[in-house]
Amino acid sequence: MTKQLRAKTFCIMIENGETPQALIEKGIWFAAAVNDTSSYTLVGCTVAPGFDFSDFDSFQNFLLRT
């Protein structure tokens, strides 16, 4: 498996071209981190019709960092 990291910064200043969300394509893993370690982040996952939870898989945090 080839590992590729793509980073995206999310903000809420839409008038400046920023975005508070992203579309994650099928087969792509996602994670979140904060720039300021004294802050926090909230990550959600919304799925569309046709989603089958038996197809869903997730890694633990330590596995994403390897």
**28 — alpha (psi -120 to 50), left (phi > 0) or beta?**
beta
* Contact assessment for residue 21 and residue 9, using Cβ atoms and an 8 Å cutoff: no
The C-alpha angle with vertex 21 and arms to 19 and 27, in degrees rounded to 5, equals 135
* Contact assessment for residue 10 and residue 19, using Cβ atoms and an 8 Å cutoff: yes
pLDDT tens by residue, 7-42 = 888 887 888 888 888 888 877 888 788 888 899 888
Could you tell me which residues come within 8 angstroms of residue 15 by beta carbon, excluding any fewer than 6 positions away? none
* pLDDT at position 38: 93
- pTM higher than 0.75: no
- Please check the confidence at residue 65 and state whether its pLDDT lies above 80: no
- Per the structure, the count of domains in the chain is 1
Domain that holds residue 58: 1-66
